[in-house]
Chains A and B, each alone.
Chain A
Amino acid sequence: MSDSEMTGRSAIPPVLPPVLARAVAPLPLGPLQPVLALMLHRISRMYPDLYSRLGEHADKRFGIDPTDLPFAFVLEPRLRQPRVRAVRTLPAGLDASIRGPLSGLVGMAEGTLDGDALFFSRILWVEGDVAAALALRNAIDDARIDFGAVMFGHFGPLGRRLGDALRRQLQARRTVSGAETWS
């Protein structure tokens, strides 16, 4: 880079403590499945514009792999009968997989982290159908999903406060070294 003026670098969202991953590893995934199904149902109902952005990719099967958790998710956004389930390892035959630390994936989904920046810094990793992964990323970024409302909205004001508290916890962990936060 002799002709250019290089400037600084680096952005590393935190990973969950390994002890936490070890603690949840033995837990069965069964109880998680109806919660995930409910969340996806609420998202598809609250954010229908997601599907116009997903277009032809809405019927594809996505793997979402938080690399600091001992389980992953298989997502099928389909307009009718969307499905999501937790799995110990991602199965073969998925159309696209997105891997990265939980805080990075959540930050990207909430629009507080930029997916390309996570890719440039090697924090995020995409396999398979890149067009499908890109459509999913762009659709979610535009939807501005309020995950607190999705998870706890039906518990009323108390649930919303719980959601806000959880979001603040995640955002507190998600800072960029040597810079202000990304949003």
Chain B
Amino acid sequence: MELICPAGTPASLEAAVEAGADAVYCGFRDETNARNFPGLNFSREELRKGIAFAHRRGVRVLVAINTFARAGAFGLWQAAIDDAVAAGADALILADLATLDYAHRRHPGQRLHVSVQAGAANPDAIRFYAENFGARRVVLPRVLNVMEIASIVRETSCETEVFVFGGLCVMEEGRCSLSSYATGQSPNMNGVCSPASHVAYSERDGRIDSRLGGFTINSFGKDEPAGYPTLCKGRFATPKGSGYIFEEPVSLDAAVMLPALRDAGVTAFKIEGRQRGRAYIAGVVRSFRKILAAIDEGRSPPAASLMAMAEGQAGTVGAYRKGWR
């Protein structure tokens, strides 16, 4: 079982490697990846050095080029693919059919992974990517329970990678337009959900109001844990009452599901959070490394308390156990 860890900066990449990552994923400092936040990501030179650092320690580097290319600007995505390959990337994480097609034709030996942003959630879709573009692995959308994942593993030859910790999206990955609606920018096209340039906070009497693109989307009480300023985790007034209608500000924490996911045939476990600091990355990676080691040795996994790191300071196993069914 591989542990795939995030890195938004060279320092985070080193922290992930030193904490026990099997592979680190990262992206360029532009709109070609889905974490295009201020001060984050890698220059070409930083990526080259980061890959060399990781390889010296036997760790692979996966480069996320997982946004959907803008019409008329495909050269930016082509350059990202070419430069990642030239830097020695072990795999490219792609979502757009055009980028998959380009990478497959231009760099036929390059390992390709299908990003979660592609929303490939059934055997037919996964086979399509494998057969047409030679995709070797698919990152499964966070919409499937363990039985469904096991079924996909049985029915396809593609490796599977699943998220086990970190921020959750609503179940429309790669197709969500909430951020676009409020700000004109989305993770799918611009690489940024709820861009910081469109976020504002205000405080009154201990309450924090968060606004996105001019819309007030949440208000946190004095001691209430806060969440990211995304519309999906906003509170809405409806005829039936006010509250969260898409999802609550909680993080995925599937540590207790790891044995079941392993038994389902999953190849790799992924930690979300390229936008987080190296303290998060080192802490979460180290914790999951210990859990995986315990599972490998047949021991009970050590109890981990990572909720201090989590959005909303709370965790959920998400769709892996669909209690609402």
List the interface of chain A (C-beta within 8 A of B): 1-11, 52-55, 57, 107-108, 111-117, 119-122, 125-127, 129-139, 141-144, 176, 178-180, 182-183
Assuming the contacts A137-B277, A141-B9, asked whether A53 and B39 have C-beta atoms less than 8 A apart, the reply is: yes
Interface range for B: 35 or more
Q: Which of B202, B203, B317 is the one whose CB lies under 8 Å from A5?
A: B317
Contacts of A183 in B (CB 8 A): 278-279, 282-283
| B315 contacts A7, C-beta separation under 8 Å | yes
- What are the 4 A-B residue pairs with the smallest beta carbon separation, nearest first? A138-B39, A11-B308, A4-B316, A135-B39
CB distance from B280 to the nearest CB of A (A): 4
Contacts of A127 in B (CB 8 A): 201-203
Assuming the contacts A57-B38, A112-B279, asked whether A130 and B200 have C-beta atoms less than 8 A apart, the reply is: yes
Contacts of A179 in B (CB 8 A): 305-306, 308
| B313 contacts A10, C-beta separation under 8 Å | yes
Which of B84-92, B123-131, B217-225 forms contacts with chain A? Answer: B217-225
List the interface of chain B (C-beta within 8 A of A): 8-12, 37-40, 43, 195-197, 199-203, 208, 220, 223-227, 248, 250, 253, 256, 275-280, 282-283, 305-318, 321-324
- Other A-B contacts than A57-B39, A116-B311, 6 sampled, CB-CB below 8 A, are A107-B279, A114-B279, A125-B203, A130-B196, A137-B277, A182-B279
Assuming the contacts A125-B203, A179-B308, asked whether A111 and B277 have C-beta atoms less than 8 A apart, the reply is: yes
Assuming the contacts A6-B314, A7-B253, A10-B313, asked whether A122 and B225 have C-beta atoms less than 8 A apart, the reply is: yes
CB distance from B224 to the nearest CB of A (A): 7
A139-B37 Cα distance, complex, nearest whole Å: 12
Assuming the contacts A5-B316, A178-B305, asked whether A108 and B277 have C-beta atoms less than 8 A apart, the reply is: yes
| A1 contacts B197, C-beta separation under 8 Å | no
| B282 contacts A3, C-beta separation under 8 Å | no
Q: Which of B208, B220, B309 is the one whose CB lies under 8 Å from A117?
A: B309
Which residue of chain B has the shortest Cβ distance to A52 in the bound complex? B43
A115-B228 Cα distance, complex, nearest whole Å: 12
Which residue of chain B has the shortest Cβ distance to A136 in the bound complex? B39
Assuming the contacts A130-B201, A182-B308, asked whether A113 and B279 have C-beta atoms less than 8 A apart, the reply is: yes
Most buried by B among A2, A4, A113, A132: A4
Q: Which of A10, A137, A180 is the one whose CB lies under 8 Å from B307?
A: A10
| B324 contacts A122, C-beta separation under 8 Å | no
A119-B225 Cα distance, complex, nearest whole Å: 8
Contacts of B324 in A (CB 8 A): 3
| B225 contacts A120, C-beta separation under 8 Å | yes
CB distance from A161 to the nearest CB of B (A): 25
A4-B38 Cα distance, complex, nearest whole Å: 32
Assuming the contacts A135-B38, A136-B39, A141-B11, asked whether A121 and B225 have C-beta atoms less than 8 A apart, the reply is: yes
Which residue of chain A has the shortest Cβ distance to B8 in the bound complex? A138
Contacts of A55 in B (CB 8 A): 38-39
| B279 contacts A5, C-beta separation under 8 Å | no
| A122 contacts B223, C-beta separation under 8 Å | yes
Contacts of B282 in A (CB 8 A): 183
A130-B40 Cα distance, complex, nearest whole Å: 14
Contacts of B196 in A (CB 8 A): 130-131, 133-134
Contacts of A130 in B (CB 8 A): 196-197, 199-201
